[in-house]
Amino acid sequence: MTDIDIASLTKQTESVSSEFEKDFAATSNDLSHKAIEDVRIKYLGRKGLFTAISEQMRSVKKEDRPEAGKLLNSVKKNMESKLDQLRTLEKKAALTAQLDAKAYDVSLPVAQTAGSLHPVTLMRRTLLKEFRNLGFIVYDGPEMDLEDYNFSALNFKDDHPARDMQDTFFVKDLEKTVLRTHTSNIQIHAMRNERPPMRVVAPGRTYRCDSDLTHTPMFHQIEGFIIDQNISMADMKGVIDTFLKAVFGTDLETRLRPSYFPFVEPGGEVDLQCVACRGKGCRICSHTGWLEIGGLGMIHPNVFEAVDLDSERYTGFAFGFGIDRIAMLKYGLSDLRQLFEGDQAFLSQFPVN
């Protein structure tokens, strides 16, 4: 067998390497598992072009062998690493193709194909939508709050019975702190943070030491108010009437009657014609034809004073409704407690949005 010298080996590897580079470039533009395998087999397979060269190692002159070994090693390494590159590219391309085939918009809400929204959530969303349509912004406030926000700034005198232990949850070890008994505390937060003109609604959880057929210790209210120059009771009646008609339908009348709340003067309550009998009188409305929806009134000058607003310059009205009660009336529920028992059979009757 004739000896092979390093020059001849180098020449052969150069020629095979340059052919490999061409195949590498072509395959990069046309990636597939098969194409990459074909390249591997063509050069590194049992009968591959590189394999053929490396088999000549045995015939290389002894003194050239170390150099020949180095050369073949580096050529082989280069081929293997380039084949790896192709495999990585191929994986990436496959993933991209898969993602493109089934495009996901990650900014979309979770697919609502299962479950249902709680009736209180549904009603809160409905109410907020109607108020937004009337130009209100949505405000939030703490459920655990200082007595000042829940009572004093709202013109509750120090000896008002609502402050009594029997109605209010006081927070242990925190002085002058209560679980809010109504969402009216948010009025004070909003009025101290913003300046008129203001149109604000604020839904939220409220708490009272109360538990019977028609009362739960936790319930939901929505508070709202408008403050500007020259706001009158006519504005109040117009807004409340428009809002209730949007939620319950235009064929039901609303009426206001006088009542007392410390933070409004004059104060009143708003009634809606009974959704069940349409005013004729039935068990649901205790045969009066009317259902009580909530309280309202013109904001008391003492409240303006407590939040540093000039009661000579500004007027406004405020209102507070029970969301649970409105949900019961709108969805025809007979027992308030159904809302908080977590019974799947009951809850799954509601829509997903």
Residue 320 binds ligand DAH (CB under 6 A): yes
Residue 261 binds ligand DAH (CB under 6 A): yes
- Give me the least distance between CB of 195 and ligand DAH, in Å please: 19
Would you state the structure tokens that stand for residue 42, as one six-digit string? Answer: 């063509």
Residue 296 binds ligand DAH (CB under 6 A): yes
CA 212 to chain centroid = 33
Select the span of 36-44, 142-150, 272-280, 314-322 touching ligand DAH (CB under 6 A): 314-322
DSSP character for 60?
A: B
- Give me the least distance between CB of 223 and ligand DAH, in Å please: 6
Beta-bridged to residue 222, according to DSSP, are: 203, 321
Select the span of 105-113, 126-134, 238-246, 260-268 touching ligand DAH (CB under 6 A): 260-268
H helices of 146-300, in order, are: 147-150, 185-193, 233-248
Of 54, 155, 184, 254, the one binding ligand DAH by CB under 6 A: 184
Cβ–Cβ < 8 Å for 29, 87 = no
Residue 198 binds ligand DAH (CB under 6 A): no
Q: Which of residues 100-159 bind ligand DAH (CB under 6 A)?
A: none
Residue 319 binds ligand DAH (CB under 6 A): yes
Report which residue type is found at 130: E
**Alpha-carbon distance 269 to 291, whole Å?**
10
Nearest CB to ligand DAH, comparing residues 27 and 184: 184
How many residues are present in the chain? 353
197: left (phi over 0), alpha (psi -120 to 50) or beta: beta
Residue 264 binds ligand DAH (CB under 6 A): yes
**Alpha-carbon distance 302 to 292, whole Å?**
27
Nearest CB to ligand DAH, comparing residues 119 and 295: 295
Nearest CB to ligand DAH, comparing residues 13 and 221: 221
Select the span of 64-72, 86-94, 292-300, 340-348 touching ligand DAH (CB under 6 A): 292-300
DSSP 114-177: S----HHHHHHHHHHHHHHHTTPEE----SEEEHHHHTGGGT--TT-GGGSTTT--BPTTSTTE
Is the N-terminal amide bond of 196 cis, ω within 30° of 0?
no
Q: Which of residues 221-240 bind ligand DAH (CB under 6 A)?
A: 223
Would you state the structure tokens that stand for residue 239, as one six-digit string? Answer: 């807004």
Select the span of 12-20, 132-140, 197-205, 312-320 touching ligand DAH (CB under 6 A): 312-320
Residue 339 binds ligand DAH (CB under 6 A): no
* Beta-sheet pairing, 198-207 with 137-138: parallel
Of 318, 323, 329, 339, the one binding ligand DAH by CB under 6 A: 318
Residue 262 binds ligand DAH (CB under 6 A): no
Select the span of 11-19, 112-120, 133-141, 290-298 touching ligand DAH (CB under 6 A): 290-298
**Alpha-carbon distance 47 to 41, whole Å?**
8
Would you state the structure tokens that stand for residue 80, as one six-digit string? Answer: 């293997």
- Give me the least distance between CB of 248 and ligand DAH, in Å please: 19
Is the N-terminal amide bond of 197 cis, ω within 30° of 0?
yes
Residue 295 binds ligand DAH (CB under 6 A): yes
**Alpha-carbon distance 318 to 211, whole Å?**
27
- Binding footprint of ligand DAH, residue count (CB under 6 A): 13
- Give me the least distance between CB of 272 and ligand DAH, in Å please: 16
Beta-bridged to residue 204, according to DSSP, are: 221
Residues that bind ligand DAH (CB under 6 A): 182, 184, 223, 261, 264, 267, 294-297, 318-320
